[in-house]
């Protein structure tokens, strides 16, 4: 069963579109380092909170996520890129919330439990 790590990011005023671009840039870098998780980016521009950006990463096991990130972060150029990327991310958002769906990590089973009612206004990117 595939696991989905969903993160809801609350952008500062005027930062939702740049935040989507920021995640697209990170996804391109991750693919360049051999990380092939399915990534989906959703916005809610036309209803609800227009500053909300939801990013989902789908993979077979959440343990794979940690292993892949650790492998990539050992590369000096990747560490430098993602360090700067995180600094910029922190300047673009007020906060973020996480949710795991259908996951199993070290014997702990996560169930889907929506933290908010979110219907994407439009999907900005799928599997980029």
d(CA 7, CA 9): 6
Position 21 scores a pLDDT of: 97
Kindly indicate the confidence band of residue 1, based on its pLDDT and cuts at 50, 70 and 90.
low
Given pLDDT bands bounded at 50, 70 and 90, which one contains residue 89? very high
Q: Where are the domains of the chain?
A: 3-126
Of 2-6, 25-29, 60-64, highest mean pLDDT: 25-29
Q: What is the mean pLDDT of residues 66-70?
A: 89
Four-way CATH pick for 3-126: 3.40.50.720, 3.40.50.880, 3.30.70.100, 1.10.3720.10? 3.30.70.100
Per-residue CA distances from 106 to 61, 85, 86 (Å): 10, 29, 27
């Amino acid at each position: 069963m595939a696991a989905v790590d969903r993160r809801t990011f609350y952008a500062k005023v005027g930062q939702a579109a740049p935040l989507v671009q920021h995640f697209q840039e990170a996804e391109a870098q991750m693919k360049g380092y051999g990380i092939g998780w399915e990534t989906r980016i959703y916005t809610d521009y036309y209803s609800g909170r227009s500053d909300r950006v939801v990013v989902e990463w789908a993979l077979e096991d959440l343990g794979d996520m940690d292993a892949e990130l650790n492998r990539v972060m050992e590369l000096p150029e990747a560490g430098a890129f993602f360090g700067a990327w995180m600094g910029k991310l922190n300047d673009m958002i007020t906060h973020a919330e996480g949710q795991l769906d259908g996951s199993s990590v070290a014997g702990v089973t996560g169930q889907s439990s929506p933290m908010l009612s979110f219907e994407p206004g439009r999907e900005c990117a799928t599997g980029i």
